[in-house]
Amino acid sequence: MSFTWSSDDHKAVVSQPGQKRSRGDAGNKVTVVLGAQWGDEGKGKVVDLLATEADVVCRCQGGNNAGHTVVVDGKEYDFHLLPSGIINTKSTSLIGNGVVIHLPGLFEEGDKNEKKGLKGWEKRLIVSDRAHLVFDFHQVVDGLQETERQAQEGKTIGTTKKGIGPAYSSKASRTGLRVCDLLGDFKDFSTRFKNLVRQYQSMYPALKVDAEDQLKKLKEYAERLRPMVRDGVYYMHEALHGSPKNILVEGANAALLDIDFGTYPFVTSSNCTVGGACTGLGIPPANIGDVFGVSKAYTTRVGIGAFPTEQLNAVGELLQTRGHEVGVTTGRKRRCGWLDLVIVRYAHMINGFTAIALTKLDILDVLDEIKVGVAYKLNGKRIPHFPANMDVLQKVEVEYETFPGWKTDTSAARKWNDLPVKAQNYIRFVENHIGVPIKWVGVGKSRECMIQMF
Ligand code: GDP
Ligand code: IMO
Ligand code: MG
């Protein structure tokens, strides 16, 4: 026997084992948008497009390591903790329990975007009481850990230094503090905060923290945050089982940065694949509907780690400059290379994409020829899987397909037939190779520069 809550009267609805549930019982489906590469694929743009029809837009993992750009009416917004749907005045934005929140960062981001014209965001934002907090000292520790990595191993991870790793470490070691703790008994919160500081200071003696000053600031943030805080699980349950609703989940980071499936250890500290939507919001897998994978028409990566199709040559430089490939969060130049379909297929194995958004096709417009990585070889033999071991990934040889460039400006294309045949062939090849339909093709930064295929 199993229970669900009926949304209208909050009474438990009981179904018998084996009894088929109607779609109505299962509730609304959520649409999930996920990065299929190493991040910065254009998730913000895809979410913004879908958010015009959405009732709720949620973030389920990551923190302000993410940087999502949205361009509307010539105005460019960048979001880090706020869901990109916050622009849509008709939808509610939710920061779920799986997200780690740096409160000064959150309010700074809101205030900065308010100056650009984003009105009323605090009234449209809901924050889960189960979300963990990132403190300033987590960010300092992030930097100290990078210095330590450099000293011990001669290399860093190249983190965003936003405190993401240390905050998720506190969560996993059960010493972290959550939004509900901050809003509860402040004396108790203060004691736990000081214990956490001591714990980090015993690991990093150089770490200086003015705990009293931090607590004073946190108390102020708590009062600004209080009106936005809800029980996230109950909120989502209501949203899923109430009247029909369009619910959107905006993935941050990406499959190859996933803590389990990414290019470990050069990854972030959360699950950026589809499971993160369930654990980061408290929703059942049965409520996952469409899963849209976002991939650039080439590949980029910020930070350190293997990158088999990287082009350390004129092609890489052209992609970097034409694509304005500079990190939204850190301002670092992104490394660039050809589209690697091995990684996108791998991302699809894990996420089960129902459709793909292929962004930044326009960046390829000037190339004489375009290559696509289709397989990896080790010692001259094709391997069927994506290697877990980074030493192995460093050694793979990429097998490429080569396409003639279309040498035509695609930025004004608004429908399939506006695209040159050579570009159409490129898109169809990518689609067939991944085995997932391409639903959108991006040809520019703004909302309207997106060709919808079906
Ligand atoms: P996200 O982290 O996945 O949301 O992506 P970012 O915002 O970090 O990086 C994507 C960048 O590409 C942003 O500057 C976008 O404005 C831009 N962009 C997205 N789609 C397209 C496209 O189809 N063409 C071009 N030229 N730029 C795009
Ligand atoms: P969006 O959502 C690109 C990378 C960092 C670093 C590694 C670990 O904009 O696609 P972290 O600070 O998370 O501990 O850094 O992960 N990284 C991203 N790269 N886009 C992102 O997010 C990223 N989030 C984390 O550069 O290599
Ligand atoms: Mg980004």
pLDDT in tens, the chain (454 residues): 333 444 443 333 434 444 444 445 689 999 999 999 999 999 999 999 999 999 999 999 999 999 999 998 889 999 999 999 999 999 999 999 999 999 999 999 999 999 999 999 999 999 999 999 999 999 999 999 999 999 999 999 999 999 999 999 999 999 999 999 999 999 999 999 999 999 999 999 999 999 999 999 999 999 999 999 999 999 999 999 999 999 999 999 999 999 999 999 999 999 999 999 999 999 999 999 999 999 999 999 998 999 999 999 999 999 999 999 998 888 889 999 999 999 999 999 999 999 999 999 999 999 999 999 999 999 999 999 999 999 999 999 999 999 999 999 999 999 999 999 999 999 999 999 999 999 999 999 999 999 999 9
* 3-state per-residue secondary structure call for the chain: CEEEECCCCCCEEEECCCCCCCHHHHCCCEEEEEECCCCCCCHHHHHHHHHCCCCEEEECCECCCCCEEEEECCEEEEECCCCHHHHCCCCEEEECCCEEECHHHHHHHHHHHHHCCCCCHHHHEEEECCCEECCHHHHHHHHHHHHHHHHHHCCCCCCCCCCHHHHHHHHHCCCCCEHHHHHCCHHHHHHHHHHHHHHHHHHCCCCCCCHHHHHHHHHHHHHHHHHHEECHHHHHHHHHHCCCCCEEEECCCCHHHCCCCCCCCCCCCCCCCCHHHHHCCCCCHHHEEEEEEEEECCEEECCCCCCCCECCCHHHHHHHHHCCCECCCCCCECEEECEEHHHHHHHHHHHCCCEEEEECHHHHCCCCEEEEEEEEEECCEEECCCCCCHHHHHHCEEEEEEEECCCCCCCCCCCHHHCCHHHHHHHHHHHHHHCCCEEEEECCCECCCEEECC
Which pLDDT score is estimated for 330?
A: 84
Q: CA torsion, points 42, 44, 49, 51, in degrees to nearest 10?
A: 150
Among residues 453, 439, 254, 449, which one has the least CA distance to residue 365?
Answer: 449
Task: Give the pLDDT of residue 84.
Answer: 95
Token pair belonging to 113: 């975007």
For 275, the token pair is: 């499971």
- pLDDT of res. 232: 98
Q: Please list all protein residues whose beta carbon sits less than 5 angstroms from ligand 3, which is an ion.
A: 40, 67, 328
Q: Measured from the CB, is residue 101 less than 6 Å from ligand 1?
A: no
Which is the catalytic residue, given 48, 68, 78, 138? 68
So what's the pLDDT on residue 24? 52
Q: Looking at the CA of 64, name the nearest ligand.
A: 2
Minimal-distance CA residue to ligand 2 atom 5: 159
CB 444 less than 6 A from any atom of ligand 1: yes
Of 427, 425, 448, nearest in space to 439 by CA: 427
68 is catalytic: yes
Q: Is 299 in the pocket of ligand 2 (CB under 6 A)?
A: no
Q: Quote the ligand 2 centre to 11 CA distance (angstroms).
A: 43
The conformational region for residue 163 under phi > 0 = left, psi -120 to 50 = alpha, else beta, is: left
- What spacing in Å lies between the alpha carbon of 308 and ligand 2's midpoint? 18
Q: Is 442 in the pocket of ligand 1 (CB under 6 A)?
A: yes
Long-range CB pairs of 412-420 (<8 Å, 24+ gap) are 412/443, 413/443, 413/451, 414/448, 414/451, 415/451, 416/451, 416/453, 418/451, 419/451
Q: Which of 60, 69, 160, 168 to mutate to test the pocket of ligand 2 (most atoms within 8 A of CB)?
A: 160
Cβ of 256 less than 6 Å from ligand 2: no
How high is the pLDDT of residue 303? 87
**Count of beta carbons in the 10 Å neighbourhood of residue 408:** 13
Q: Which atom of ligand 2 is nearest to the CA of 162?
A: 12
Q: Is the CB of 359 under 6 A from ligand 1?
A: yes
Does the beta carbon of 67 sit less than 6 angstroms from any atom of ligand 1? yes
The answer to whether the CB of 230 falls within 8 A of the CB of 239 is: no
371 CA distance to ligand 2 centroid (A)? Answer: 26
Mutate to test the pocket of ligand 1, among 41, 160, 326, 360 (most ligand atoms within 8 A of CB): 360
Domains, in order of start, for the chain: 27-128+229-292 (3.40.440.10), 133-226 (1.10.300.10), 297-452 (3.90.170.10)
Active-site choice (40, 48, 55, 136) = 40
Residue 19: predicted pLDDT: 44
Residue nearest to atom 18 of ligand 1 (CA): 445
The pTM for the full model equals 0.95
Tell me the CA–centroid distance for residue 79 and ligand 3, in Å.
Answer: 9
Closest residue to atom 11 of ligand 2, CA basis: 159
Q: Are 311 and 3 in contact (CB under 8 A)?
A: no
- Residues 6+ positions from 346 with CB-CB distance below 8 Å: 255, 256, 261, 386
Active site residue 40: yes
**Closest ligand 2 atom, CA of 272?**
2
Nearest CA to ligand 1 atom 11: 42
From 45, 65, 81, the mutation candidate for ligand 2 (largest count of ligand atoms within 8 A of CB) is 65
Residue 42 Cα to ligand 1 middle (Å): 4
